[in-house]
Structure 1
Amino acid sequence: MRAAALVAGLALLPLATACGAGADAAKPAEDKGASRLSATPAAGVVAPPKVEVIAGLLGCEPAIRTEADELREGTCRSAKANYLITTFPAEKFKLTWLDSASIYGGTYLVGPRWVVSGRPELLEPAREKVGGDIQQLRGMNDATAPGAP
């Protein structure tokens, strides 16, 4: 039994190491450990679910207005924009929040375990800084009946 477990572990070892060191080894020595910052986040890179971090990336200081088990919310005001940043301890709380917000409609910048609310024309520049996807939610007053334009 031990021999079979050892053989299985050794067989999986190349797979586990192939995902990590190979890409790093191909970089020149001076690039190792350096981080790159740009105005547009790299594909798949999004801000972590922390109000303060997202606010910092957006260039403003947050004022926390809600601390609850299901969410944390802060307003973020700068000379150019006002945002409402909401973070969640689990994805299920974000999905519930979005479902509730869909009653009112609106445009939101949505990332993993966070949502940024703001004027729609400011969400694309914000997305370039923090990542995420812009989502348009339909409100109750949106025409959804058959034959509506």
Structure 2
Amino acid sequence: MAVGLVFLPLATACGSGGGDGAPASSDPSEISAAPAAGVVAPAKVEVIAGLTGCEPEIRIEADELRQGLCHTEKIDYLITTFPEEKYKQAWLDSAAVYGGQYLVGSRWVVSAKKPEVLEEFRTKLGGTIQHLRGIGPRAAPSTS
């Protein structure tokens, strides 16, 4: 079952990773602290979705995780929950290849193509925003 976690971010990672050949990082200096929101979202897709204003379409039901897609007028985003922290960490380790930003809480992750929405969700859900650098070539800077 853990093998599925390795390939899962391939299909589910949302983020704009601009890898520079450096290994992915979840260095605490690159993690923003959650505000005093006073809310710690439970690890249940439907509850997290409700707190962010959507009704999720459940895409994955597995022993290691549940994942729902939220579609709003503003943005599409994924909510992934895990029965144990070790599964969340394995998922994040796999997602690190793609880079990007993720809102991470206790046994849950929210990913979106527009990282600015994660800050908005952080005020509702708590958690921290993790910046994963990714690996691979980076687009060349424009000369114009």
Question: What TM-score do you get using the length of structure 1 for normalisation?
Answer: 0.65
Q: CA RMSD in A?
A: 1.8
Q: Percent identity?
A: 68
Distance in 2 separating the partners of 1:43 and 1:52: 20
For residue 100 of structure 2, give the secondary structure of its aligned residue in structure 1: strand
Distance in 1 separating the partners of 2:116 and 2:105: 18
Aligned residues, how many? 104
Higher relative CO (CA 8 A, sep ≥ 6), structure 1 or 2? 2
In structure 1, runs of 5+ residues without a counterpart are 1-39, 144-149
Structure whose CA Rg is larger: 1
One-letter amino acid of the structure 1 residue matched with residue 118 of structure 2: L
One-letter amino acid of the structure 2 residue matched with residue 72 of structure 1: R
Q: How does 1:1-149 map to 2 (within 5 A)?
A: 42=36, 45-118=39-112, 119-141=114-136
- Contact 1:106–1:138, Cα closer than 8 Å, also in 2: yes
* Superposition deviation, residue 78 in structure 1: 1.4
- Contact 1:41–1:130, Cα closer than 8 Å, also in 2: no
One-letter amino acid of the structure 2 residue matched with residue 78 of structure 1: T
In structure 2, runs of 5+ residues without a counterpart are 1-33, 139-144
